[in-house]
């Protein structure tokens, strides 16, 4: 069960006050509101706020916690003896510790996070942010100075917080025959079980607590590659366990190697600023993500895998109070998860130095390197103090990776391994994909039909193209009596996280979202993804529908298609065929017509200059002699043959007309960026 699960219930902690949020809003209701109540009389502007969604659950957790501890002011310093020294060196395995917490949503009420609404991210460091320490400087330094490969003492309460969350049973056995391509010089052999590689006591203990049994395909390959200090570009389908595929080996290396120079640098920084002054932090590992919620989710995973270690993970992102984040950093930061803008801010404020950052991860790497993000990535990676490529280790992960972006990505990689589990950009066959012709004017009533046929307990994620559209549709559904919420970039960060929490918990089983929720978010029990508006590029489509059908579960994706979606016709058809989905005959005809209409077949102006790559598609089955290795290992754009479909079963849909034919549209034509 080696999946990077999403945020687990049961450990985020309510802030004593709500100062940690953007917008300076002081009008939170410090108590729990039923979603349908309209009792909030504060003037908050948007109608959604009048529905009581703004209520922060300051009171919500008390009952749920059974009064067993006060999450705001936990006893401290943390008692090492309190949990029994006889356990200090040992690990609970899944069975003895947590079998009763099961893998369903209705877990024990004692650990049930439901109704907690929103709980601050930066209040929990005192007892959760990496385990081991209270607030005192002494404790922190003693933690830094110890043997990093040895587990720190248990903390049962923290263990419950981190590991009692849902753990959907995954069934990846049937993926064992998925074609895998791993190319590059001296590629390490893959593993078959977590025991096949030495990840150390701490990581193995946390794997057991997470109830992971076997590595997923991407983990089988990525773990030994990362462990052997190789750069990596990894492509694997949505929901196939990529987050753990980098967190586990990176943390295991950090535990094995200790803090090294970073510790001295952090201490020196403390000296400069006075004994108890503000220390600049020098994270050993940096993980960059394209959205704030994804950064938070990765951070939550990192907390699990750094339990009982000396590594302290932190997260920084925009929209939340920076002072709070700075204070959290100052308590120690060895692994930092960040969105780019806030990280740059932290660097410029002298709070973060990347001088000793030996591990760099770009999650959703194709997004991180596209036009919107690339300058910021270069600013962070190339124009500051980050060790150069070849010195640091750079890892990129995504389910999609257009060829042009792969080529760009080589700027940041040295002698890297290219790993593709299945064809790059393909969708899981666990997702049933439906495409229905729906005129704009019929979309709402069609949506209502779909929703009325949806079971009460399953979550439905509805994607729209614009923020305005998200607000409008959410209001419409609300008026129709559905418990729904929405997430998009114009909402406050606090509202965004609350919306996500309410969706995850099932309190609002319908979430209307823009692209902000398309990538990476791991929400269990999403049964249906609806593309109310189809996106204009196929990568976005792949990521959106990948919010369902995760970890071996089945999912459904329904897309509303009409005249406006001509641009995605061909790519959508290809995706459906490859995933062995039913293809409406009208779609086939349209794709054929569109092929002849379209003249500009480049992916974008930016990439329109020809490079050798003729085919952005790749298949894991397509390794051939003319590829990567056969040309001295430097032709990394090739990654081997991209057209050796052979027994891969993908057909020839991507090969008929080479590079251009795979992209029959261009975003640039429409939006000029």
- Residue 465 within binding range of DNA, rule CB under 7 A: yes
Using DSSP's 3-state secondary structure scheme, residue 43 falls into coil
For the sheet with 526-531, list strands across it. Answer: 431-437, 555-561, 526-531, 459-463, 510-513, 484-487
How far apart are the C-alpha atoms of 427 and 422, rounded to whole Å?
A: 9
Binding range to DNA, per CB under 7 A, among 73-81, 169-177, 238-246, 512-520: 512-520
Q: Which residue from 357, 516, 573, 587 is in contact with DNA, where contact means CB under 7 A?
A: 516
Q: Which is nearer to DNA, 463 or 650 (CB)?
A: 463
Show contacts with DNA in window 470-509 (CB under 7 A).
488-490
Distance in Å, CB of 31 to DNA, minimum:
27
Calculate the CA 264 to chain-centre distance: 31
What's phi and psi for 210, nearest 5 deg?
-80, -5
Q: Which residue from 344, 436, 448, 472 is in contact with DNA, where contact means CB under 7 A?
A: 344
How far apart are the C-alpha atoms of 63 and 13, rounded to whole Å?
A: 13
Binding range to DNA, per CB under 7 A, among 88-96, 125-133, 305-313, 368-376: 368-376
# chain residues binding DNA, by CB under 7 A: 41
Q: Which is nearer to DNA, 178 or 369 (CB)?
A: 369
Q: Which is nearer to DNA, 307 or 401 (CB)?
A: 401
- Residue 373 within binding range of DNA, rule CB under 7 A: yes
Distance in Å, CB of 280 to DNA, minimum:
17
Q: Is 497 left (phi over 0), alpha (psi -120 to 50) or beta?
A: alpha
Nearest by Cα to 299 from 105, 661, 103, 8? 8
Q: How many CA atoms lie within 13 A of 390 on its CB side?
A: 4
CB-based contacts of 66: which residues, under 8 Å, 6+ apart? 110
- Residue 663 within binding range of DNA, rule CB under 7 A: no
Q: Which is nearer to DNA, 33 or 488 (CB)?
A: 488
Q: Which is nearer to DNA, 196 or 345 (CB)?
A: 345
Nearest by Cα to 661 from 611, 605, 596, 585? 596
Distance in Å, CB of 305 to DNA, minimum:
24
- Residue 371 within binding range of DNA, rule CB under 7 A: yes
Distance in Å, CB of 343 to DNA, minimum:
6
Show contacts with DNA in window 121-160 (CB under 7 A).
none
Q: How many CA atoms lie within 13 A of 250 on its CB side?
A: 32
Buried residues in 396-410 as b, exposed as e (16+ CB within 10 A): bbbbbbbbbbbbbbe
Q: Which residue from 35, 228, 273, 466 is in contact with DNA, where contact means CB under 7 A?
A: 466
Show contacts with DNA in window 4-33 (CB under 7 A).
22
Sketch the per residue contact string, 542 through 561, with DNA: x for CB under 7 A, - otherwise: --------------------
- Residue 564 within binding range of DNA, rule CB under 7 A: yes
How far apart are the C-alpha atoms of 531 and 544, rounded to whole Å?
A: 8
The helix (H) or strand (E) run that includes residue 304 is helix 292-305
Show contacts with DNA in window 303-342 (CB under 7 A).
317-320, 322, 338-342
How far apart are the C-alpha atoms of 467 and 258, rounded to whole Å?
A: 45
Distance in Å, CB of 503 to DNA, minimum:
15
Which residues contact DNA (rule: CB under 7 A)? 22, 290-293, 317-320, 322, 338-345, 348, 370-373, 376, 465-469, 488-490, 514-516, 536, 564, 667, 670-671, 673
């Amino acid at each position: 069960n080696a999946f990077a699960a999403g945020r687990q219930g049961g450990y985020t902690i309510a802030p004593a006050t709500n100062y940690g949020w953007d917008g300076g809003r002081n009008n939170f209701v410090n108590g729990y509101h039923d979603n349908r109540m309209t009792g909030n009389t504060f003037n908050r502007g948007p109608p959604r706020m009048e529905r009581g969604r703004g209520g922060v659950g300051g009171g919500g957790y008390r009952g749920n916690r059974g009064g067993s501890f006060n999450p705001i002011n936990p006893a401290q310093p943390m008692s090492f003896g309190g949990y029994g020294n006889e356990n200090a060196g040992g690990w609970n395995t899944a069975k003895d510790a947590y079998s009763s917490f099961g893998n369903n949503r209705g877990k024990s009420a004692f650990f049930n996070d439901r109704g907690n609404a929103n709980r601050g991210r930066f209040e929990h460091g005192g007892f959760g942010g990496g385990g081991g320490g209270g607030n005192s400087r002494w404790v922190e330094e003693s933690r830094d100075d110890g043997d990093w490969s040895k587990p720190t003492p248990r903390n049962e309460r923290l263990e419950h917080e981190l590991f009692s969350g849902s753990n959907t049973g995954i069934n990846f056995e049937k993926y064992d025959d998925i074609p895998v391509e791993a190319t590059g010089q001296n590629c390490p052999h893959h593993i078959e079980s977590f025991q096949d590689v030495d990840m150390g006591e701490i990581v193995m203990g946390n794997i057991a607590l997470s109830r992971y049994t076997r590595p997923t395909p991407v983990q089988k390959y990525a773990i030994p590659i990362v462990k052997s200090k190789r750069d990596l570009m990894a492509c694997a389908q949505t929901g196939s366990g990529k987050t753990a595929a980098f967190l586990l080996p990176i943390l295991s290396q950090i535990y094995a190697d200790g803090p090294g120079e970073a510790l001295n640098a952090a201490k020196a920084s403390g000296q400069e600023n006075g004994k108890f002054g503000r220390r600049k932090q020098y994270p050993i590992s940096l993980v960059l993500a394209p959205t704030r919620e994804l950064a938070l989710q990765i951070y939550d995973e990192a907390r699990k895998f750094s339990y009982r270690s000396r590594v302290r993970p932190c997260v920084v992102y925009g929209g939340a109070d920076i002072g709070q984040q700075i204070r959290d950093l100052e308590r120690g930061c060895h692994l930092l998860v960040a969105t780019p803008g806030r990280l740059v801010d932290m660097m410029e404020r002298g709070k973060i130095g990347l001088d000793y950052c030996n591990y760099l991860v770009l999650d959703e790497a194709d997004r991180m390197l596209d036009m919107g993000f690339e300058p910021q990535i270069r600013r962070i990676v190339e124009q500051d103090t980050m060790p150069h490529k070849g010195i640091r280790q750079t890892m990129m992960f995504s389910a999609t990776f257009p060829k042009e972006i792969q080529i760009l990505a080589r700027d940041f990689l040295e002698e890297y391994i290219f790993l593709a589990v299945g064809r790059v950009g393909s969708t899981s066959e666990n997702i049933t994909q439906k495409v229905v012709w729906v005129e704009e004017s019929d979309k709402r009533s069609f949506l209502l039909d779909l929703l009325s046929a949806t079971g009460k307990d399953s979550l439905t994620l509805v994607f729209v193209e614009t923020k305005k559209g998200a607000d409008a549709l959410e209001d419409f559904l609300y008026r129709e009596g559905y418990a729904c919420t929405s997430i998009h970039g114009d909402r406050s960060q606090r509202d965004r996280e609350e919306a996500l929490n309410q969706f995850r918990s099932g309190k609002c089983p319908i979430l209307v979202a823009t692209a902000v929720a398309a990538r990476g978010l791991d929400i269990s029990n999403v049964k249906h993804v609806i593309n109310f508006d189809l996106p204009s590029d196929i990568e976005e489509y792949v990521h959106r529908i990948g919010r369902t059908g995760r970890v071996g579960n089945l999912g459904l994706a329904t897309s509303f298609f009409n005249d406006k979606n001509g641009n995605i016709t061909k790519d959508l058809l290809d995706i459906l065929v490859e995933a062995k989905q039913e293809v409406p005959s009208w779609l086939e005809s349209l794709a054929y017509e569109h092929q002849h209409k379209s003249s500009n077949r480049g992916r974008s102006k930016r990439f329109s200059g020809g490079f050798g790559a003729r085919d952005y598609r790749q298949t894991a089955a397509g390794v051939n002699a003319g590829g990567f290795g056969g040309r001295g290992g430097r032709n990394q754009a090739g990654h081997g043959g991209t057209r050796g479909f052979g027994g891969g079963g993908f057909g020839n849909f991507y090969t008929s007309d080479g590079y251009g034919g795979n992209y029959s549209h261009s975003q640039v034509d429409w939006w000029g960026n």
